Amino acid sequence: MKRIGVHEAQPGQVVVQAVFGSAGLALLRPGSVLTADMISRLSNYGVATLSIEDDGAEVRPIEERLRDLDARFAGHEQDTLMRRLKEVIAAQMREGAGSGA
């Protein structure tokens, strides 16, 4: 999921969180696919940002993400709990990458 400004929204993107207008009405349900009309209506309703699905093109390679993981956990190499936690996350990253998610 990522949060974008309405002006950056593109037709075809999928909204992942309900969008509310300034009058408190729910304008879009999660799962709605944006159209050009919807986008211009949203800005008319005063909506500034939306949460949309990340498109796959932005997913970084698994090696790079594992390197980041190592960097985040740096300094905790001797800590048993942190080592186990890192293993859990790394395994989930690899599984996710394997299934093409």
Partner 1 sequence: MLDKTQMRARVEQTVNIATIPQIVSKLRTMFEAPSMSAIAVGEEIAKDQVLAVKVLKLVNSGFYGFRTPITTITQAMVLLGFDVVKTLVLSASVLDILELMNQSLAGLWEHSLGTAKAASAIAGRLNMANPEEIAVAGLLHDLGKVIIAQRFPQEHAQIRETVTRRNCLQIDAEREVLGVTHLDVGMWLLKKWSLPPKLVYPIAFHNNFHPSRDFADRTAVVHLADILARAKGVGYAGDNRIPAIDFGAWHLLHLSFDDIEDICLQLEGDTGSRMIA
Residues that bind partner 1 (CB under 8 A): 1-3, 16-18, 20-24, 26, 29-30, 48-49, 54, 58-60, 65, 68-69, 71-76, 79, 81-82, 84-86, 88-89, 92-93, 96
How near is the Cβ of 27 to partner 1 at its closest, in Å? 11
CB 14 within 8 A of CB 52: yes
How near is the Cβ of 21 to partner 1 at its closest, in Å? 8
Nearer CB in complex with partner 1: 29/36? 29
Measured CA to CA, the distance from residue 7 to residue 59 in angstroms comes to: 23
How near is the Cβ of 58 to partner 1 at its closest, in Å? 5
Within 10 angstroms of residue 89's Cβ, the number of other Cβ atoms is 14
Q: What phi and psi, each to the nearest 5 degrees, are found at residue 12?
A: 100, -20
Measured CA to CA, the distance from residue 11 to residue 13 in angstroms comes to: 6
